[in-house]
């Protein structure tokens, strides 16, 4: 059975087909995962009273208390059974095709209706071995515990709050990604011109704010305007804990108007 790249069910209150479209990226709407802002209102109300430097500390303390994370878990070290969002992020940054990546892709599918197109290899059908491996790793009890989807929900809402309030440029980020045309988790849907393409990304994908750094990872470098609503996590929201050497942002998928660029 062929795999539809979208699931009509989501928790964001708008159709998945629109959220995944270039039209949304051009004119994005505010996005919230229901009912995270209401349930965690004290966190956001408290952050309203403090500046940019305090916001990450308040967020991490909230996560520590809400999910009973000890210092090792906050540092991303798996010394106890309950998993933490930072441990998962570090696994993703090391290799998005690890089990941590499958769990995070499963979260994107559950909350935003974006099905995975790639995990270790392309997923084209429900009968693919890659789809079976994705399902098994997504449900792994080792990484799918301690309400990890709820941790990701709050992280996403915090990222939205932080970027809207503190980012120097409002609304969108210019990000870069290199793809391998023969084997990649991105799919070229349409070539509008020699340089302008519609590219369908995996449900979660890594981009870089640094064009030169991005060019090290593929044959062709694409430049994309990514609305904040499509950004799950980026270094500035977790200074000192989220690695900065690749200037990496984790971006929700769908179809993006992408510009092929030259790197000198």
Q: Where are the domains of the chain?
A: 16-261
Contacts with 169 (C-beta within 8 Å, 6 or more apart), sequence order: none
Q: Give, as one character, the DSSP assignment of residue 171.
A: S
Closest CA to 39 of 65, 9, 60, 66: 66
Contacts with 234 (C-beta within 8 Å, 6 or more apart), sequence order: 159, 163, 173, 209, 242, 248, 249, 250
* Whether residue 263 has pLDDT greater than 90: no
* Whether residue 135 has pLDDT greater than 90: yes
Closest CA to 241 of 95, 86, 58: 86
**pLDDT attached to residue 253:** 96
What gap in Å lies between CA 259 and CA 255, rounded to an integer?
13
* Whether residue 78 has pLDDT greater than 80: no
* Whether residue 34 has pLDDT greater than 60: yes
Report the pLDDT averaged over residues 149-166: 97
């Amino acid at each position: 059975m062929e795999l539809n790249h979208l699931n009509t069910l989501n928790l964001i209150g708008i159709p998945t087909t629109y959220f995944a479209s270039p039209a949304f990226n051009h004119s994005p709407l505010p996005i919230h995962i229901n009912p995270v802002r209401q349930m965690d209102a004290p966190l956001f109300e408290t952050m309203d009273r403090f500046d940019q430097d305090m916001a990450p500390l308040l967020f991490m303390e909230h996560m520590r208390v809400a999910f009973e994370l000890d210092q090792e878990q906050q540092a991303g070290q798996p010394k106890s059974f309950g998993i933490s969002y930072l441990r998962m992020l570090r696994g993703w940054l090391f290799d998005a095709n690890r089990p941590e990546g499958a769990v995070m892709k499963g979260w994107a599918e559950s909350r935003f209706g974006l099905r995975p197109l790639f995990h270790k290899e392309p997923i084209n059908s429900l009968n693919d071995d890659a789809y079976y491996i994705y399902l098994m790793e997504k449900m792994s009890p080792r990484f799918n515990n301690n309400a990890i989807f709820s941790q990701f929900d709050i992280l996403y809402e915090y990222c939205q709050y932080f970027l809207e309030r503190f980012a120097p440029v409002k609304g969108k980020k210019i990000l870069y990604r290199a793809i391998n045309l023969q084997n990649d988790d991105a799919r070229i849907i349409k070539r509008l011109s020699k340089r302008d393409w519609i590219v369908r990304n995996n449900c979660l994908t890594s981009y870089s704010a640094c064009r030169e750094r991005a060019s090290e990872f593929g044959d062709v470098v694409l430049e994309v305007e990514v609305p904040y609503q499509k950004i799950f996590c980026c270094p500035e929201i977790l200074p000192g804990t989220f690695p900065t050497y690749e200037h990496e942002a984790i971006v929700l998928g769908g179809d993006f108007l992408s510009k092929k660029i030259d790197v000198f």
